[in-house]
Chains A and B, each alone.
Chain A
Amino acid sequence: MSDQHRRFLRLRQLPHVWCPGCGNGSIVKALLTAIGDLGLDQDRVAVISGIGCAGRAPFILDFNTMHTTHGRALAFATGMKLVNPDLKVIVIMGDGDASAIGGNHFIHSCRRNLDLTALVFNNGIYGLTGGQLAPTTPAGKRSTTSMSGNIEHAFDLVRLALGAGAGFVARTTSYDNKQMVTFFKRAISHKGFAFVDVMTACPTYFGRMNDLGEPYELLHYLRDTTSPSEDIAREHDESPPADLMPTGIFRDEERRDYGTLYSQRALATSGKGRS
């Protein structure tokens, strides 16, 4: 751990709760590298999370941090950002957090285009509760609530975000530190709602239940089941390779964000209330 990372950590709160081999530490490290590289003012960064393994990240991060309720991190962050527009608000969610219980907030946040950065630590399973099925568990994979294999179809969060209208949409993996740092910097710098789907490893549950119990096996799994692609046109591709999840930046468009539009509206109606 370098000084660059150490200054963003609450050392008294370590050790963290994540299992050996969990990819979350790698993601957090990349996030801190990105924040350091961008030169953000530590006092003006807020990290807001939901519930789950990913949700525990803010405990160890020395920013303004809020650990909220399951699925609602984006809604809390919406209030925070609207009343405090100069804060850089980064939202950390798990995959079940963002796309099952928080699915409604996720799609509306994409649509609303408030200036937030949303990261999903996507391990394809519910880790903190003991390895149950998530909306992102690939078809056929086992969990403690799908012992014979998942018979549902998995959510592709990138396509979901694209469909819901997010201005910046990317996918990376906790296997690829360099790509994570690049994408996080782009996402944080994007004015408007930015989403990065970060595929990561849960050796304790996803790995053990799917014959990938060794942490290195899961890293190879992440490498071998994803297909690097910087091709933005990819979003129009209706049939990606069946077993390969494309990584890359799928959309990066500047659109007027909610906060800017609200300020303009407020200015235009200033003093025109009825009372």
Chain B
Amino acid sequence: MKRQRLIQGNEACAHGALYAGCSFYAGYPITPSSEIMEILAQEMPAQGRVFIQMEDEIASISAIIGGAWGGAKVLTATSGPGFSLMQEGIGYASITETPCVIINCQRWGPSTGQPTKAAQGDVMQAIWGTHGDHAVIVLTASNVRDAFEMTVRAFNLAEEYRVPVILLIDEVLAHMRENIAWPEPGELPVVNRRAPESTAGFKPFADEGFLPFGAGSRYHVTGMAHGPEGFVAHGEAAARELRRMIGKIQDRVKELAVFEAAMLDDAEVAIVSYGITSRPARAAADQLRAEGVRAGCLDIKTLWPFPEHLIADIAGRVDRIVMPELNLGQLVREVERAAGGRCEVRALGRIDGSLMTPQQICDAARSGKLQAVGQENSK
């Protein structure tokens, strides 16, 4: 039998990062993410990797971007208030096509809010948080094994596409212990940075792989609009580069889509969810089936680029989509857009800091009346 271990979501993220070959972590403590950095503070020096506690979250994201260009596979982890501060750096990482991973253990917000209470309120910020059109990949996890695997996947995608990858988990998953089959070395794929074919004349933004600073080809990196060589570009040249950066993610929406579908083949009601909310969603689908309601569920693990093809497919077959979120309706906007009026889309929001219950989702799936977007049902 495979080795089973009882671990917390945050531990899974930390060990997933080590498994993926993360060689540099810079961070600033914040509830409910701190266990990730505490574990890495212990493990990384002992494994010959580099860990540093920075003076704030802006410094943390800046340091990992510097580390990435120095040749490291890099990570920082935070929660809402710190994630807000990191938006500046995420924009820089996006325009400089820097491979990096940011884990956001979501907590109740805005502002200090309720540091130890769960929420999924940072979905919009993860996708759209930094200014300007930009490319990012946003992933989630709904169980502890997922937290491990999606951390590894986040590194793989960051390296493959040279893009910042944001993994959104939440306070419940962060602190929940669950037994997982511990991934053995070699079990999960690990993608490493591609070296350019030749060192001489390396152009850092011409998609020729990645050569770190000091490796023999002197080049320039800037957060200003730039061309393939890293020097300032204007007008159509700047537009072309930005389209390329966004296109390399957006054009691969189908191959980037990670999801888990269950009982959807004959479903009349589809519960579409992501992250921790997929747990009550699955329990609700089982309960509804037991009651004779043909319910199915879709757990979306790639939030961005949004896999609208999955929703379009479901919307053509079911009467109703129910979308539970621990916010007042964020990803449901994308679901509504993708469903395009082909079925009813019902948002179910909860913002009292507790996890949605299966019963709440069942009630929303069954009841005839439309529940207003954002109306809290916190029984």
On A, residues with C-beta under 8 Å from B are 10, 13, 42-44, 46, 48, 58-59, 62-69, 72, 75-84, 86-87, 104-105, 108, 262, 265-266, 269-275
Known: A48-B66, A274-B42. A82 touches B59 (CB 8 A): no
Please tell me which stretch of B153-161, B221-229, B264-272, B330-338 contacts chain A, meaning at least 4 of its Cβ atoms lie within 8 angstroms of it. Answer: B221-229
Bound form: Cα–Cα A67–B224 in Å? 8
Bound form: Cα–Cα A83–B26 in Å? 11
Known: A69-B92, A83-B70, A83-B72. A78 touches B218 (CB 8 A): no
Known: A80-B66, A270-B46, A274-B42. A44 touches B214 (CB 8 A): yes
A149 to chain B, nearest CB (A): 32
Name 16 extra pairs, CB < 8 A, besides A66-B220, A81-B70, A84-B70.
A64-B219, A66-B69, A66-B221, A67-B223, A68-B62, A78-B52, A79-B68, A82-B50, A83-B71, A84-B71, A104-B56, A262-B50, A272-B46, A273-B43, A273-B47, A275-B43
- The answer to whether B214 and A46 touch across the interface, beta carbons within 8 angstroms, is yes
Q: Number of contacts between A and B (CB, 8 Å)? A: 142
Known: A265-B45, A275-B15. A79 touches B214 (CB 8 A): no
Does B259 have its Cβ within 8 Å of any Cβ on chain A? no
Does B261 have its Cβ within 8 Å of any Cβ on chain A? no
Bound form: Cα–Cα A48–B220 in Å? 10
Known: A46-B213, A72-B58, A275-B15. A83 touches B45 (CB 8 A): no
Chain B contact residues, majority secondary structure = mixed
Q: Can you list 9 A-B contacts with CB-CB less than 8 angstroms, sorted by A residue number?
A: A43-B214, A46-B213, A66-B220, A66-B221, A79-B26, A79-B62, A79-B74, A80-B70, A82-B63
Residue on A nearest B65 in the bound complex, by CB: A76
- The answer to whether A83 and B23 touch across the interface, beta carbons within 8 angstroms, is yes
For A271, the chain B residues whose CB sits under 8 A away are 46
- The answer to whether B63 and A76 touch across the interface, beta carbons within 8 angstroms, is yes
Partner of A59, one of B71, B89, B214, B220: B220
Bound form: Cα–Cα A59–B218 in Å? 12
Residue on B nearest A51 in the bound complex, by CB: B223
Bound form: Cα–Cα A178–B340 in Å? 71
A207 to chain B, nearest CB (A): 27
Does B186 have its Cβ within 8 Å of any Cβ on chain A? no
For A262, the chain B residues whose CB sits under 8 A away are 45, 50
- The answer to whether B66 and A269 touch across the interface, beta carbons within 8 angstroms, is no
Residue on A nearest B91 in the bound complex, by CB: A69
A157 to chain B, nearest CB (A): 18
- The answer to whether A82 and B92 touch across the interface, beta carbons within 8 angstroms, is no
Known: A44-B214, A275-B43. A79 touches B67 (CB 8 A): yes
Q: What does the 1/0 interface line of B1-36 toward A look like (CB < 8 Å)?
A: 000000000000001001000011010000000000
Pick the most buried of A59, A82, A83, A84: most chain B CB atoms within 10 A of its CB. A83
For B89, the chain A residues whose CB sits under 8 A away are 69, 72
- The answer to whether A67 and B222 touch across the interface, beta carbons within 8 angstroms, is yes
- The answer to whether B63 and A79 touch across the interface, beta carbons within 8 angstroms, is yes
Bound form: Cα–Cα A84–B215 in Å? 10
Known: A48-B66, A82-B52. A59 touches B231 (CB 8 A): yes
B55 to chain A, nearest CB (A): 4
Bound form: Cα–Cα A105–B88 in Å? 15
Q: Which 4 A-B pairs have the closest CB atoms?
A: A79-B66, A79-B67, A75-B62, A76-B66
- The answer to whether B214 and A86 touch across the interface, beta carbons within 8 angstroms, is yes
Pick the most buried of A59, A76, A81, A86: most chain B CB atoms within 10 A of its CB. A76
Bound form: Cα–Cα A58–B222 in Å? 10
Residue on B nearest A265 in the bound complex, by CB: B45
A50 to chain B, nearest CB (A): 10
Residue on B nearest A46 in the bound complex, by CB: B213
Bound form: Cα–Cα A78–B220 in Å? 18
- The answer to whether A78 and B63 touch across the interface, beta carbons within 8 angstroms, is yes
For A72, the chain B residues whose CB sits under 8 A away are 58-59, 62, 88-89
For A79, the chain B residues whose CB sits under 8 A away are 24, 26, 62-68, 70, 72, 74
- The answer to whether A269 and B46 touch across the interface, beta carbons within 8 angstroms, is yes
Bound form: Cα–Cα A81–B70 in Å? 8
